């Protein structure tokens, strides 16, 4: 019994942090209609700033904490002013999601540049010795976490319910147009909400830091946990966010205690998937508040740039010539980077079919890479299957998973679809770590043989390169053809308006399933090739960070065009190889690129190239 209560206490401590994160998500979402993926990064920034202020500047702990919260809030305000709020007026919701993913990466890069990649351990505020109350051990930091959470919840609740500022914030969340008519400065309220979410995140980071090991990518994990918490609880209500956080914390701790720590994540994600399918708007519904302007619809329509066909043929020919000549011109390192670019391009074509053409945000593409990679590698190493048979088996398994995922998530759109795919990716992540008999666990799988077909081994980079190049050309031509057929048009119709598409006789369910399956097949193939290329596969090579990177490549390159992703993949893969000494800035740069591209080049680099070409008319702004 004592043990059970002890676990509950741990769960409440964990849950308090999730609740704070969820509160930040909910605040920004309610005022702007956007999920701010950078929320977790505010925690890391706050905690590390406090650490530096205390150790390097020598401030007393309380002052350091306050200073850190102020500094993080200021940074959030700058990012909000420069990127987030201007984006709200110009971008679709999915591009806003990408922009916040860019902000997350940008902040991560900032942490990497300032504090490096090593983990930091911070001392608890009131010593290591836990309090002993009625035979129970209360960790002092847990009391701090709980107290600060409670204080923030009460303060925020009071501010929203009782003050004029809070009233204006709520008015913006209820109905931005009417709020403007009342004389409320809506962009300023949006900025305020964003900065306040930064402050809450920083406060959460400062108090939780002693309870966890902190490093540059902790923000990403916190973002994901908070995102899950808020999705479980219901994003449109603050009590929902708090309840979701606590529930997630308790489930996590109980699962760790009674099942296995490796599967506590998987259980939480299972919970999320069930909630998403059973009650997509979360366990606790908002009081009433059907948003009067349905924010899931695009505020802005995406314009897809296309090359005139004569130029496209010439460009394609040039690219193929370049592709054939490249291995003879490039050094070993660059050739390696080029192979990776092409492999990722295969996965990206799949992502593009789903996201650029079908309009379904997918944040779990790397999950299918993992399925393909691990299946092929496991069968080839442990059961001596021919690599090609392993690849095919991986594709089969991926398609099966994709169809199940698609069937389960059919009703979901936009944000919830993004969440479900994210949960799927994370589930695969935790399986890759958990099933260590098959996957080798966190340390990865070694000794994967060369890819070979009928005894011919693709053992040298040169051979591997031409294999991948041939596959890319084949897939590119096939998918380009498919996108010009009825299937491609049906997908684009579904992206624009599923209801109208269905009314025209498009088989919406069938098309979505097919797009999912095609996308998963390509990702799976890419994952297998990836494993054979490196002769090694570990969870962080094909985990959720990779999914986010794929999405970045797609947005930077230009979604909805087939060649755009190649540009994105090339930029994010080859540039870091060329600028190896500047590797520490890679994350910072890719974050800045993603955030900047989503704001200034919503059609990506490809759109920019098309616009800069002579004889192109500028598209009329809608």
Which residues contact another protein by CB under 8 A?
164, 167-168, 170-171, 174-175, 177-185, 286-290, 292, 620-622
Question: What angle (nearest 5°) sits at the alpha carbon of residue 358, between those of residues 356 and 361?
Answer: 70
Nearest approach, Cβ of residue 183 and another protein (Å): 4
Kindly state the smallest distance separating residue 185's Cβ from another protein, in Å. Answer: 6
In degrees and rounded to multiples of 5, residue 397 shows phi and psi of -65, -40
What is the closest distance, in whole angstroms, from the C-beta atom of residue 23 to another protein in the complex?
A: 18
C-alpha span between 75 and 78 (Å, rounded): 5
Q: Which of 180/413 has CB closer to another protein?
A: 180
Q: Cα-Cα-Cα-Cα dihedral of 587, 593, 596, 600, to 10°?
A: -170
Minimum distance from residue 239 beta carbon to another protein (Å): 13
Q: Which is it for strands 445-446 and 131-133: parallel, antiparallel or unpaired?
A: unpaired
Q: Which residues pair with 457 in a beta bridge?
A: 452
Based on CB atoms, which residue is closest to another protein, 185 or 297? 185
- Residue nearer to another protein on the CB measure, 182 or 407: 182
Residue 191 makes CB contacts below 8 A (sequence gap 6+) with 77, 80, 81, 84, 85
3-class secondary structure, 34: coil
Strand partners, 132: 137
Least spacing, CB of residue 231 vs another protein, in Å: 20
Pick 168 or 223: Cβ nearer another protein: 168
Tell me how far, at minimum, the Cβ of 621 lies from another protein, in Å.
Answer: 5
| Beta carbons of 13 and 145 less than 8 angstroms apart | yes
Q: Please give the Cα distance from 467 to 484 (Å, whole number).
A: 26
Nearer to another protein, 169 or 566 (CB): 169
Q: How far is the CB of 175 from another protein (least distance, A)?
A: 6
Smallest distance from the beta carbon of 292 to another protein, in angstroms?
6
Q: Which is nearer to another protein, 183 or 455 (CB)?
A: 183
Q: Which is nearer to another protein, 66 or 300 (CB)?
A: 300
CA atoms of 342 and 471, how far apart (whole Å): 9
What's the min distance (Å) between Cβ of 85 and another protein?
Answer: 16
Q: At what angle do helices 332-352 and 309-329 cross, to 10 degrees?
A: 150
Nearer to another protein, 168 or 360 (CB): 168
Smaller CB separation from another protein, 138 or 184: 184
- Compute the least distance from the CB of residue 234 to another protein, in Å: 14
Task: Tell me if 125 sits within 8 A of 144, measured CB to CB.
Answer: yes
Query: Considering beta carbons, is residue 303 or 484 the nearer one to another protein?
Result: 303
Smallest gap from Cβ 541 to another protein, in A, equals: 44
Query: Cα–Cα distance between 70 and 214 in angstroms, integer?
Result: 20
Residues in the chain: 622
Number of H helices, E strands in the chain: 26, 6
CA distance 515 to 406: 9
CA distance 30 to 37: 14
Rank residues 178 and 613 by Cβ distance to another protein and give the closer one: 178
Q: How far is the CB of 311 from another protein (least distance, A)?
A: 26
Rounded Cα distance between 57 and 68, Å, is 12
Tokens of 44: 């890391």
Which secondary-structure segment (H or E) carries 457?
strand 456-457
1 versus 620: smaller Cβ distance to another protein? 620
- Between CA 526 and CA 342 the distance in angstroms is 9
CB 349 within 8 A of CB 515: no
**Least distance (Å) from another protein to the CB of residue 155?**
20
- CB-CB neighbours of 164 under 10 Å: 7
Distance CA 141, CA 210 (A): 7
Residues whose CB is less than 8 angstroms from the CB of residue 125 and which lie 6 or more positions away in sequence, other chains included: 61, 140, 141, 144, 207, 210
Q: What angle do CA 127, 130, 135 make, to 5 degrees?
A: 160
Residue 184 or 575 having the CB closest to another protein: 184
Shortest Cβ 238–another protein spacing (Å): 12
209 vs 236, beta carbon nearer another protein: 236
Structure tokens at 253: 């701790």
The angle at the Cα of 121, spanning 120 to 122, to the nearest 5 degrees, equals: 115
């Amino acid at each position: 019994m004592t043990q059970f209560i002890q676990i509950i206490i741990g769960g409440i401590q964990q849950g308090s942090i999730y609740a704070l994160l969820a509160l930040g998500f909910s605040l920004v979402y309610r005022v702007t209609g956007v999920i701010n993926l950078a929320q977790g990064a505010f925690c890391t920034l706050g905690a590390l700033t406090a650490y530096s202020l205390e150790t390097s500047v020598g401030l007393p702990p309380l002052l350091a904490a306050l200073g850190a919260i102020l500094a993080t809030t200021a940074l959030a305000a700058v990012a909000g002013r420069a990127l987030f709020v201007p984006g709200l007026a110009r971008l679709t919701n999915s591009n806003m999601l990408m922009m916040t993913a860019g902000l997350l990466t940008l902040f991560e890069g900032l942490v990497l540049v300032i504090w490096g990649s090593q983990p930091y351990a911070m001392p608890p505020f009131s010593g290591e010795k836990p309090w002993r109350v009625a035979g129970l051990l209360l960790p002092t930091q847990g009391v701090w976490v709980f107290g600060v959470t409670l204080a923030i919840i009460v303060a925020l609740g009071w501010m929203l319910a009782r003050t004029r500022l809070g009233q204006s914030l709520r008015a913006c969340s209820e109905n931005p147009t009417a709020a403007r008519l009342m004389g409320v400065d809506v962009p300023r309220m949006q900025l305020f909400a964003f900065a306040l979410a930064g402050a809450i995140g920083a406060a959460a980071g400062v108090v939780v830091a002693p309870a966890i090991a902190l490093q540059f990518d902790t923000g990403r994990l916190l973002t994901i946990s908070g995102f899950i918490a808020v999705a479980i609880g219901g994003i449109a209500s603050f009590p929902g966010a708090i309840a979701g956080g606590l529930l997630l914390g308790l489930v996590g701790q109980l699962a760790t205690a009674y099942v296995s720590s490796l599967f506590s994540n998987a259980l939480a994600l299972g919970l999320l998937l069930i909630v998403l399918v059973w009650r997509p708007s979360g366990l606790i519904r908002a009081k009433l508040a059907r948003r009067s302007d349905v924010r899931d619809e695009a505020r802005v329509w995406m314009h897809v740039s296309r090359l005139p066909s004569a130029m496209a043929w010439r460009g394609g020919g040039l690219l193929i010539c370049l592709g054939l000549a490249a291995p003879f011109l490039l050094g070993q390192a660059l050739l390696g980077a080029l192979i990776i670019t092409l492999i990722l391009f295969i996965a990206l074509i799949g992502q593009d079919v789903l996201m650029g053409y079908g309009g379904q945000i997918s944040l779990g593409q790397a999950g299918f890479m993992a399925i393909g990679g691990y299946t092929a590698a496991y069968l080839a190493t442990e059961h001596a299957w021919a690599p090609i048979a392993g690849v095919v088996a991986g594709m089969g398994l991926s398609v099966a998973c994709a169809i199940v995922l698609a069937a389960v998530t059919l009703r979901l759109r936009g944000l919830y679809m993004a969440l479900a795919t994210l949960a799927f990716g994370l589930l695969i992540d935790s399986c890759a770590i958990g099933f260590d008999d098959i996957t080798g666990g966190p340390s990865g799988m070694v000794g994967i043989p060369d890819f070979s077909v009928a005894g011919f081994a693709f053992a040298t980079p040169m051979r591997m390169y031409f294999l991948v190049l041939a596959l890319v050309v084949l897939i590119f031509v096939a998918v380009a053809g498919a996108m010009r057929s009825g299937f491609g048009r049906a997908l684009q119709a579904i992206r624009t308006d599923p209801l109208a598409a269905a009314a025209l006789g498009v088989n919406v369910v069938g098309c979505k399933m097919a797009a999912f399956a095609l996308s998963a097949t390509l990702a799976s193939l890419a994952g297998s090739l990836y494993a054979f290329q490196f002769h090694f596969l570990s969870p962080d090579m094909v985990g959720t960070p990779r999914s986010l990177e794929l999405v970045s490549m797609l947005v930077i390159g230009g979604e909805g065009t087939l060649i755009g992703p190649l540009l994105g993949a090339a930029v994010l893969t080859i540039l870091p190889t060329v600028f190896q000494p500047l590797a520490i800035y890679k994350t910072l740069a890719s974050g800045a690129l993603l955030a900047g591209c989503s704001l200034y080049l919503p059609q990506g680099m490809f759109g920019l190239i098309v616009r800069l070409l002579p004889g192109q008319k500028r598209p009329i702004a809608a």
